[in-house]
Amino acid sequence: MEKPRAVLFDAYGTLFDVYSVGLLAEQLYPGHGTALTTLWRDKQIEYTRLVTTSNHGAHYRPFWELTRAALVYAIRRVAKDDRAALEPATLAARADQLMNQYRHLSAFPENREVLQALKDRGIVTGILSNGDPAMLGISVRSAGLEDVLDHVISVDPVRKYKTDPAAYALGPQATGLKAAQILFVSSNSWDALAATWYGYPTLWVNRGGLPFEELGTQPTRTGTSLRDVLTFF
């Protein structure tokens, strides 16, 4: 294949560690931190699909709102036997703490090295994410990545979340390139699969040694860290 002319990264799970909230979750809900963060993430993605596919998107809500709704659900689920934890003021205060932590998720350590290497090669770089613009702006600034990203693309303007084709179409629209000229990078297997279906060459960053989706399509390549992006060049 031709060398890509641009690289677009998923944000949550790919550049930013969505499970880095786990320590705070464990402090707030002892013995349930891992279960809470896992359920929170799963419900967050489920909600994006619900609001995209139901009633022609009439129930769309920004990613920040869906993330908080998913968190409240997860808290109610894991703390269902703890009346004090579910008292409205307590639940709201703890949800605020966790959401504030979500604004500043830990960045994976190789992010800057890889993005800088791409910039040095003259490759256009960017994020294509479900996150709304305010969330992404804070995360990018918190990680100190503003100077190595040409584009920070949110799906919010089209009011449809990945894996809707309208979300993936934002990449070619922003860069002026064809999808086939843009490498799409995600650590979420469902995202890598849908981006492949859309027409991007893809890298699935499989940090957990997991199997890929069993739907008859494989990503262009599979790696274990963002450094594997550089194998395309």
186, 204 contact by CB (below 8 A) = yes
pTM: 0.95
Domain 6-16+106-232 belongs to what architecture? 3-Layer(aba) Sandwich (3.40)
How would you list the strands of the sheet with 221-223, edge to edge? 151-154, 124-129, 6-9, 182-186, 202-205, 221-223
Q: Whose CA is closest to 140, among 54, 6, 1, 12? A: 12
Q: pLDDT of 160-188, one tens digit each?
A: 999 999 999 999 999 999 999 999 999 99
Q: Which sequence positions are flagged as catalytic?
A: 10
Q: pLDDT of 95-127, one tens digit each?
A: 999 999 999 999 999 999 999 999 999 999 999
Domain 18-103, CATH among 1.10.150.240, 3.40.50.2000, 2.30.33.40, 1.10.10.10: 1.10.150.240
